[in-house]
Amino acid sequence: MFETLPPGPDMYTVSARVGEEAKVTEADWDRRRRFDALFREHLSGIASFCRWRSRSTADAEDAVAEVFLVAWRRLDDIPTGENARPWLYATARRVLADPARTNALRGRLDAKLSAQLVPVQIADDPLAARVDDALAALGDRDREMLLLAEWEG
């Protein structure tokens, strides 16, 4: 699923603005070594947890990547030693819950919007009625393309 690269300065790409020299401090290397150790130690457990809770392998892999992205960004917030494991599992649980919350919210919003009546404006202009009829006669894709061309230029 994921593979780790051997540690070493040549595996990391450092970028700088044109004309500037990139400097990597010892603190940067310490941070990277801490993350690499965290990744190696907990990858299999987090990956197993995400596979168990996901609907597909791709979803699980995305969740694992997101968990370790959060870990990298918040590395200074992660407890050291054995306390890192619960932190990573809690992060994985939240990462996996986000799409479910989003889908539930979207479903409630769809239901709410479907229940509301949409006021229909009756145009007195016969040309507007002809345009509405012409749009209604088009297929979905053609109607969308025409409306997007009009709305978006």
DSSP-derived secondary structure for 14-48? ----TT------HHHHHHHHHHHHHHHHHHHHHHH
The answer to whether residues 139 and 95 belong to one domain is no
Residue 10 confidence (pLDDT): 46
pLDDT for 127 equals 84
Q: Which domain holds residue 64?
A: 9-118
Rounded Cα gap, residues 123 and 131, in angstroms: 11
Regions in the chain scoring below 70 on pLDDT: 1-22, 117-123, 153
Instruction: Indicate whether 75 and 127 sit together in one domain.
Output: no
Q: What is the pLDDT of residues 27-48, one digit of tens each?
A: 888 899 999 999 999 999 999 9
Q: How many CB atoms lie within 10 A of CB 117?
A: 5
Q: What is the pLDDT of residue 113?
A: 77
Assign residue 109 the CATH number of its domain: 1.10.1740.10
| Number of domains observed in the structure of the chain | 2
Asked if the structure places residue 54 within a domain, the reply is: yes
Mean pLDDT for the chain? 82
